[in-house]
Amino acid sequence: MATASLRDETVDLLSRLIRVDTTNPPGNETAAAELLRDYLEQNGVSCELHARVPERANLVARLPGRGGGPTLLFLSHTDVVLADPAQWTVPPFSGEVRDGEVWGRGALDMKGQVAASAVAIASLAREGFEPSGDLIFAATADEEVGDGFGLSWLCEAHPESVRCDYAINEGGGDRMLVGDQVVYLATAAEKRTAPFTIRVRGRAGHASMPGIADNALVKAAVLIERLAAYRPEPQLGPEVEGFLRAVFGEAPVASHAVERVRPLSGPAADIVSAVLAPTFSPTMISASLKRNVIPHVCDVVVDCRLLPGQHPEHIEPMLRAVLGGDVEYELLWEEPQGGTRSRLDTPLWAAVESFVEEVEPGAKAAPMCTAGFTDSHWLRDAFGTVAYGFFPMSGEMPLDVVNSLVHSADERVPVADLEVGVRWLRHAAHAVLA
Ligand SMILES: [Zn+2]
């Protein structure tokens, strides 16, 4: 199959997907699922739609395996974030192709990968590819908001539709130049988001006579400063260690990692720095609702990201030591989310490496942990799936431009990236399901 025709097929499907407005909320992903089902069934791939409510369907397509082999899932989501047309150069739901790029909301996050995954499985079906285990494609609803209509619901209500040994998701594929080494990042783990509130109590009073009150806001300020000054001990997880090996040939100790990477690439150093240790970012505060009333309670909300595998109970003693014992406070944790990890000694990782070698000889695949999190954690939690975020970029559009366009105005994807993406997904299917 000529890659040029697969590229054109992907561009056409992406343009049509962008023209289906799946802004979440409200989502309306069923229209996108039906468009994909029509395309896939015309190509001989059988599809199911699963919907918790009729207008928010998830599509699952399957190329059945001969039996005995592992199962591989191409995972994606069809919903997109809001677009304000006033800020765009072209209408955000036009799907226009100009100067070698497809424009529109979702082009990068992530209808481009949806279209590439659909074309990959459709083209394999046309060629008569018989995978050893099932090749599955899921285009799910509701990733951007996460109200329980998408993959989390599928894993619970229709687990057999998405159960898989291996999965390829969004959240990786960045092509970075680190010194003179080109690396393609593949995310294999994510931090655990574990937000908490520090509640400080005092005594209310009229603000004109502060001496009669006990200002909870002022007491909280001390705790915020201590948290901001705190630098937890860095540690190398297997992903950062793998990244450092790809760049340096060996891994420096954790405490030197950022200073070694910084001169070679500022953006790479920022990524590494965010995943070496838990982070604590105070982001919201509430105290008095009236200017002239001294607050008797102050709540400070902290966005906390733990390392994969870490739990609040591991962190709390250290956190309390940092906050000190002189100001009384309560620590209120919310339910943590994410924090899962996949092994790197797998056939899917070998496929990532062999693809990078094929597409750009001399470049290296490098694992990474992501500071945010994706839908991969649902699969890892439910089925022990080995899931990586990897949709390689061609390098035609600089990485900082790509990052600035996600969830932003004038979102667009180079056609060259779509071509590399389809090649990768077909390569992975052949490598893992031979
Ligand atoms: Zn996304």
Looking at residue 373, its pLDDT comes to: 80
Both tokens of 206, joined, read 């009229």
Angstrom CA distances, 420 to 102, 168, 175, stand at: 15, 15, 12
With bands split at pLDDT 50, 70 and 90, how would you rate the model's confidence at 200? Answer: very high
Residue 1 pLDDT more than 80? no
pLDDT tens per residue, range 56-97: 999 999 999 999 999 999 999 999 999 999 999 999 999 999
Specify the long-range contacts of residues 255-260, CB closer than 8 Å, at least 24 apart.
258/234
Residue 41's domain is classified under what CATH number? 3.40.630.10
Residues within 5 A (CB) of ion ligand 1: 109-110, 170
Is 24 domain-assigned?
yes
Whether residue 115 is found in the same domain as residue 244: no
**Assigned domain for 361 exists:** no
**What distance in Å separates the CA atoms of residue 339 and residue 128, rounded to the nearest whole number?**
39
- Give distance in angstroms: CA of 170 to centre of ligand 1: 6
Please indicate, yes or no, if residue 363 is contained in any of the structural domains. Answer: no
Among 283, 318, 336, the domain-final residue is: 336
* Shared-domain flag, residues 219 and 279: yes
Domain identity same for 204 and 93: no
Q: Are 19 and 140 within one domain?
A: yes
Same domain, 282 and 419: no
Residue 264: give its domain's CATH number: 3.30.70.360
Give the helix/strand (H/E) hosting 60. strand 57-63
Q: Name the average pLDDT for the chain.
A: 96
The beta strand positions in 249-323, using DSSP E, are 279-286, 293-294, 297-306
Strand-strand pairing, 412-414 and 101-103: antiparallel
Residues 98 and 134 in one domain: yes
283 and 312 in a single domain? The answer is yes
**Do 14 and 44 lie in a common domain?**
yes
198 and 99 assigned to the same domain: no
Instruction: Check whether residue 244 and residue 148 sit in a common domain.
Output: no
Of 336, 360, 384, the residue at which a domain comes to its end is: 336
Q: Taking the model in full, what pTM does it have? A: 0.93
Q: What is the CA(326)–ligand 1 centre distance, in A?
A: 44
Residue 404 included in any domain: yes
Boundary residue ending a domain (336, 361, 391): 336
CA of 217 to the centre of ligand 1 (A): 38
Within a domain: 341 = no
Q: Do 115 and 24 fall within a single domain? A: yes
Tell me if 176 is assigned to some domain: no
Q: Per the domain annotation, does 342 fall within a domain? A: no
Q: Using the mean position of ligand 1's atoms as its centre, give its distance from the Cα of residue 397 in Å.
A: 19
Q: What's the pLDDT tens digit per position in 310-330?
A: 999 999 999 999 999 999 999
List the beta bridge partners of residue 309. none
Extract the tokens encoding 179. 């010194």
Domain count, the chain: 2
* Domain range enclosing 46: 3-171+374-432
Same domain? For 124 and 223 the reply is no
Of 322, 298, 297, 318, the closest CA to residue 307 belongs to 318
How far does the centroid of ligand 1 lie from the alpha carbon of residue 293, in Å?
44
